[in-house]
Amino acid sequence: MTSKIALALVLVATVPLVAEGGKKKPAERAMLEKMDAVPCGAKQKGIAGLGSLWASVGITKMSSDEKLCPEYLLRTDDMEYHIRPADYKHLTVLPVGHEIEFKIKKNRMLVKVPDGESKERAYEVVAMKPTASDQNAQQRPSGQP
């Protein structure tokens, strides 16, 4: 009889530990500070690099159209992220000045705007750096507030 009670207590004690392990990690929040248009590639039309053979024929014209892509600055309490869309064919403009939710999975940042549509979109992280408040805290001596 006491062994059944002991077994029941062990099972009851382990159930909350198993239930907590299944919870999803909440998405982090960041402020979308600004958007810039940055060059992300160039389309080249024509023939180039074939040397004097084609130059004598007159096929040396080279035209290039520079593509501009959006780059966003996301700021959290401790990091700044510069991100660009992973899919340039289906671009969506994010609302600058609003708070967003994000998760980082497999070299991609999944961004969702809680106020707008609830679809997550994939972005590539171009740059990351700590915010200035962390750098100022490290420079202050520990004895002074």
- 20 assigned to some structural domain: no
Tally of domains within the chain = 1
- 143 assigned to some structural domain: no
- 49 assigned to some structural domain: no
The residue among 24, 43, 30, 131 whose CA lies nearest residue 83 is: 30
**DSSP 8-state assignment for residue 9:** H
41, 29 contact by CB (below 8 A):
no
- 48 assigned to some structural domain: no
Average pLDDT, the chain: 75
How far, CA to CA in Å, does 125 sit from each of 40, 77, 103, 120?
Answer: 14, 17, 12, 15
- 76 assigned to some structural domain: yes
- pTM for the predicted model, two decimal places: 0.61
**pLDDT at 103 > cutoff 70:** yes
Digit-coded pLDDT (tens) for 60-90: 455 556 778 899 999 999 999 999 998 888 8
- 46 assigned to some structural domain: no
Residue ranges making up the domain that contains 102 = 26-37+70-135
120, 110 contact by CB (below 8 A):
yes
- 110 assigned to some structural domain: yes
